[in-house]
Amino acid sequence: MTEFKSDFLNELQWRGFIHQISEPVEPLDQLAARRELTAYVGYDCTAPSLHVGHLLSIMMLHWLQETGNRPITLMGGGTTRVGDPSGRDETRKLLSYDQIEDNKDAIRRTFRPEFIRFGSGLRDAIMPDNAEWLTRLNWIEMLRDIGRHFSVNRMLSMDSVKLRLDRDQEMSFIEFNYMILQAYDFVVLNQKYDCRLQMGGSDQWGNIVNGIELGRRMGSPQLFALTCPLLTTSSGAKMGKTASGAVWLNADLLSPYDYWQFWRNTEDADVIRFLKLFTTLSKEEVARYASLEGAEINDAKKTLAREATALMHGRFAAEQAERTAEQTFEQRSLGSDLPTLYVHVGDSLPNANTAIGFSSSNAQARQYIKDGAISLGGRPVTDPQYRLRVEDFDTDGRVLLSTGKKKRGILTIRSE
């Protein structure tokens, strides 16, 4: 393990964030040690929320600020109009400008003070939007001033392009230009804010290095790249993907309770690694949990769920989610924070299971019933065509719906 001079790089290394760092490393380390480093991560506005996969880069910005340096969260209001081809076999659907603006407004709410502090101070974070400069580019000037520094031969060798072409998948001209725009972002942020480091996932390495090279050709000081690994769980699953879809960060797309449950369901082999990456627990606290064995590992999972949820949704929401889980799973009562669906007597149970988000389709819900995986009030349902009955509900018109071992929700009779 490398011993860095800066608290920033030492913290990232211990926690497992570092996948690649550009050479030379020493000047970057010195900037961070002097607390003079400004770094950025870019977030395109392709959806109305970021997801768990973005948390690694958010936490890197958190530790950058905690060690006395300045983070930039760059909103991709301009680059989203083009679409990043990295890691994709097909062209992204182009969003309307109104959709991009709505997504951008929603994503801004993700960056709570628990993660990053924004303001006007020397080390406070800032949140510019690359639409500010990209939408003002004149096409001819862009070709002469920026495009001339790019080699088509080298662009064709980049993974985001090469992998698509190797699979005989079409790449549009607009996508091909994405790496130029991202590289230009780096140069502009250096000129405007003295930003010297771009961070991101390992799939962004080529794009970030392009920015370093463009900066060199356009007279910028030495720029740097740092990427984190693209995480998979110990079982090989992609981090942040579940059977029901992405694990969103915004509460209007995924409740704090479901977010808590996602972390609580972490595989045993991943708990300590995730405590390092997704919480702010100290080395000593993590070491204490690392010594647990057997059933005690559940204490570490609850801590992971509590601390990760507190960062994302606040301490109160995290503690409320934990209480709801205890009521539901340990005391067998109906927790107030469980997802709720209002239904009518006579409604189809497969429809209800799908509507609450526990199955991707009614056909899948019927298969769950055939497999004995769905119960109402603790009673297994065996009829794939089952319709809700008055006797299913308690005196308050509620019943606990369970799908598999982990999914719990409340069906409530809708009052007319």
pLDDT digits (tens, 9 = 90+) for 269-304: 999 999 999 999 999 999 999 998 887 888 999 999
Contact 239, 265 (CB under 8 A): no
The larger pLDDT score, comparing residue 238 to residue 339, is at: 339
CATH 1.10.150.110 fits 255-330, yes or no: no
The CATH number of 340-413, from 3.10.290.10, 3.40.50.720, 3.40.50.1820, 3.40.50.2000, is 3.10.290.10
Alpha helices in 67-177 (DSSP H): 97-108, 131-134, 139-145, 152-157, 159-166, 173-176
Among the listed ranges 111-120, 250-259, 384-393, which one has the minimum average pLDDT value? Answer: 250-259
Residue 231 has a pLDDT of 82
What does pTM read for this prediction?
A: 0.79
Domain range summary for the chain, segments of one domain joined by +? 7-228, 255-330, 340-413
pLDDT digits (tens, 9 = 90+) for 222-271: 999 999 998 887 777 777 655 456 789 998 888 888 899 889 888 899 99
pLDDT digits (tens, 9 = 90+) for 163-204: 767 777 777 788 888 889 999 999 999 999 999 999 999 989
Tell me whether the CATH fold assigned to 7-228 matches the one assigned to 340-413: no
Residue 372 has a pLDDT of 87
Residue 106 has a pLDDT of 94
Only one residue has tokens 């290095």, namely 209
Looking at residues 46-56, what average pLDDT do you find?
Answer: 93
The end-to-end CA distance of the chain, in Å, is 65
pLDDT digits (tens, 9 = 90+) for 131-169: 999 999 988 888 888 888 887 778 777 777 777 677 777
CA–CA distance from 192 to each of 128, 207, 232, 293 (Å)? 10, 20, 36, 51
How many other CB atoms are there within 10 angstroms of residue 270's CB atom? 18
Q: In the structure, what pLDDT confidence band is assigned to residue 62 with cuts at 50, 70 and 90?
A: very high
pLDDT digits (tens, 9 = 90+) for 78-105: 999 988 776 565 667 889 999 999 999 9
* Percent of the chain at pLDDT exceeding 90: 58
Residue 263 has a pLDDT of 93
Contact 40, 72 (CB under 8 A): yes
Residue 119 has a pLDDT of 92
7-228 topology per CATH = Rossmann fold (3.40.50)
pLDDT of 416 higher than 70: no
Instruction: Please give the single-letter amino acid code of residue 287.
Output: A
Looking at residues 400-413, what average pLDDT do you find?
Answer: 85
